[in-house]
Amino acid sequence: MTAAGSGGTGDALSKLRIRRDEPVRGGGWLGRFVRLLVTVAVLSLLAGAAWVLWRSPGMLADADRLMESVRSKLEVRVVLASVEEGRSADATVVATGYLQSRQQARIGARATGRIEAVLVEEGVRVAANDVLAILEHADLDASLAAARASAARCRSELLEQDVLIARNQRDLQRAEKLLAGRTMTQAEFDTEKFEYDAAVARRESLQAALQLAEARVQEAEQLRENMFVRAPFAGTVISKDAELGESIMPGGMGEASGRGSVVTIADLEHLEVDCDVKEDFISRVQQGQSAEVAVDAVPGRRYRGRVRKVIPMGDRARATVKVRVALEDADEKLFPEMSSTVYFLPGDVAVGGGVVAGGVQESDEVGGRRIFCPNDALQTTGGEVWVWVVGAEDRLKRVVVQLGEKKEGRTEIVNGLAGGERLVAGSSAEYRDGLAVKVLQ
């Protein structure tokens, strides 16, 4: 009985052991339900995202653009496909430079002082010797008045001496008659003679004093005149360098020593382009040669130019020679320091209907419209030539082109470009269609 009882107790204890590999009764169905809900929610989100992307394919492109904006963009240097019309299309040499006035000066005072008035503004035309500014000069006015008063006193003393000389001269004449009639002694006559001579000598002294006083008046007038800043030549005020109340000093450099000039004036009726021509092509440029000048600030207009001077000095570092081209029809739209391009024309051709060699009239339409591309923008693979065009949103586009005549550092584009496009200078293995780049300024 004991054995049977022991066996029954062992079976009961074995049944009481907890099975950890089986789910707890009463909670299994709830866990499975929660996991099912989570799975359905995840699948729904994935299906919704796929549907949105399917209905809005542009979002993929937007995402791609977002990733590109995060990544650093390639930096590129751009050049322009230039359009040349008329005679400039036949130019033998093209050079860039800046407009400058043949006469331009920073006008300052000849003496140190503080500005009392500035009488001009930017853009005002002035004639030679016009007053541009006035420096304070009350002390010089007083000195001038004193010098003039001193000179006036010297004049009055000289007049008094002339009266005294006239009286002494009459006394001497009277004494000569008395001496001849023996009614005056020789001693009395000598006294009259000495008084006359002394009066004449004193007049010489007074005359010298008057000259000294007049010289001091001129000196005071000149010192006062130095307080007036005048235009040395006719021109236009292009900058105002000082204001009312500022100190000015001849040759002043900065605030420590005072301003060096009050205004800057330039003769805008006689403008010229200061440009650099490569040594390889300077033989094609001669003094007096006709040229066309394009100014960036005045698009669509070409000005007549003529080579005024070829500076007989080269630039070793840049391998260029400086050339100055005078404009023959400059207008009010042009100002110094504007960027310009000079097209040196072949032969002795005058632009704009002028006379060419042999007296033949030439029209602006000669030469047609041509497009030129800098050589460093051309890319070649096999027999194909193309360029990278920087388009909208600064994205690259590969454009195949056909080449024409080659000129100084540039090549004519017969087909593929319309002119004015921004082209990438140089090449890189990373370039591809649609790539967003950063254009270097």
- Quickly list DSSP for 412-433: EEEES--S--EEE-S--TT--T
* pLDDT for res 342: 92
Averaged over 1-8, what is the pLDDT?
Answer: 47
Residue 150 makes CB contacts below 8 A (sequence gap 6+) with 213, 216
**3 state DSSP class of 108:** coil
Among the listed residues 402, 396, 394, the one whose alpha carbon sits nearest the alpha carbon of residue 427: 396
Strands (E), 145-256: 228-230, 235-240, 247-248
Angle separating helix axes 58-70 and 28-55, nearest 10 degrees:
90
Statement: residue 81 has pLDDT above 90: no
Top CATH class of 369-439 equals: mainly beta
Averaged over 382-389, what is the pLDDT?
Answer: 88
Among the ranges given (182-191, 320-329, 365-374), the one the predictor scored with the smallest mean pLDDT? 365-374
How far apart, in whole angstroms, are the C-alpha atoms of residue 268 and residue 263?
A: 15
Q: How many other C-beta atoms are found inside a 10 Å radius of the C-beta of residue 387?
A: 23
Averaged over 52-75, what is the pLDDT?
Answer: 59
Among the ranges given (31-40, 167-176, 204-213, 325-334), the one the predictor scored with the smallest mean pLDDT? 31-40
Q: Are 90 and 356 in contact (CB under 8 A)?
A: no
User: What tokens appear for 289 in the block?
Assistant: 């040669």
Q: Are 290 and 351 in contact (CB under 8 A)?
A: yes
Residue 38 makes CB contacts below 8 A (sequence gap 6+) with none
> For 23, which DSSP code?
P
Among the listed residues 321, 411, 354, 418, the one whose alpha carbon sits nearest the alpha carbon of residue 95: 321
Cα angle 67, 70, 73 (rounded to 5 degrees) comes to 100
pTM of the model as a whole = 0.55
Q: Are 234 and 117 in contact (CB under 8 A)?
A: no
How far apart, in whole angstroms, are the C-alpha atoms of residue 347 and residue 368?
A: 18
* pLDDT for res 430: 85
Among the ranges given (149-163, 169-183, 212-226), the one the predictor scored with the smallest mean pLDDT? 169-183
Averaged over 303-313, what is the pLDDT?
Answer: 93
Among the listed residues 84, 55, 31, 13, the one whose alpha carbon sits nearest the alpha carbon of residue 407: 84
Statement: residue 353 has pLDDT above 60: no
Averaged over 111-125, what is the pLDDT?
Answer: 91
Q: Pick 145 or 33 by higher pLDDT.
A: 145
> For 252, which DSSP code?
-
Q: How many other C-beta atoms are found inside a 10 Å radius of the C-beta of residue 373?
A: 24
Averaged over 289-295, what is the pLDDT?
Answer: 92
* pLDDT for res 393: 84
* pLDDT for res 356: 42
Q: Pick 21 or 95 by higher pLDDT.
A: 95
Q: Are 31 and 23 in contact (CB under 8 A)?
A: yes
Among the ranges given (2-6, 85-89, 225-229), the one the predictor scored with the smallest mean pLDDT? 2-6
* pLDDT for res 17: 54
Residue 87 makes CB contacts below 8 A (sequence gap 6+) with 292, 343, 345, 349, 351, 362, 364, 366, 367
pLDDT above 70 covers a percentage of the chain that reads 80
Statement: residue 410 has pLDDT above 70: yes
- Domain segments of the chain as ranges: 85-102+270-344, 104-113+120-128+230-266, 138-225, 369-439
> For 434, which DSSP code?
T
* pLDDT for res 429: 83
Q: How many other C-beta atoms are found inside a 10 Å radius of the C-beta of residue 227?
A: 20
Provide the mean pLDDT of the chain.
Answer: 81
Q: Are 434 and 396 in contact (CB under 8 A)?
A: yes
Q: Pick 211 or 429 by higher pLDDT.
A: 211
* pLDDT for res 88: 66
Band the pLDDT of 74: cuts 50, 70, 90: confident
Averaged over 278-303, what is the pLDDT?
Answer: 89
Statement: residue 70 has pLDDT above 80: no
CATH superfamily ID and name for 85-102+270-344: Efflux pump adaptor protein, beta barrel domain (2.40.30.170)
